[in-house]
Structure 1
Amino acid sequence: MSDDRHDRRARRSGQDRHLPCQGPYGDEGDPGDCADPVRFEVARHRRPPLRVCPVHLGPSLLLASGVLWPPGIVLVR
């Protein structure tokens, strides 16, 4: 199953709430040191969305690579 389909299925089932924050930079292969649950997805150009907690939402908008402007932010419940 492709990662995109898996991500959509996880989002529908509410599993995103239990994923750790990727903020503030969202480097691939570099797990963030924040263990807070994901609350937001930030859209990025030619990259997967960055999933972050409320504390890292602002820094990710300013520091993460590929973030669209104006930013596309989705609340994850």
Structure 2
Amino acid sequence: MVSVTLSQFRNRQSDYIAAAQREPIEITSRGAGRRAVVVSPEFYDRALQALEDQADVRAAADARKEPQIPFEDLLEKLGL
């Protein structure tokens, strides 16, 4: 990952945005350290999808831990 200061990024913003299409660009600041990371839209979309997939997997695992209702009891509850 390329790391640049905030002032370097300001001076060559279009160059770094173009570079971010190939690899993430870390923007740092003297007092605050790491401030931001610029990534391509495709990278962002893939990362967001991966996080959503993980949340779905966790939700499914949690649902499997819930008590199971026998089918006959479910039919009775539904009045069928």
TM-score relative to the length of structure 1: 0.30
Larger Rg: 2
Structure with higher RCO (Cα < 8 A, 6+ apart)? 1
| More helix per residue | 2
| More strand per residue | 2
TM-score relative to the length of structure 2: 0.29
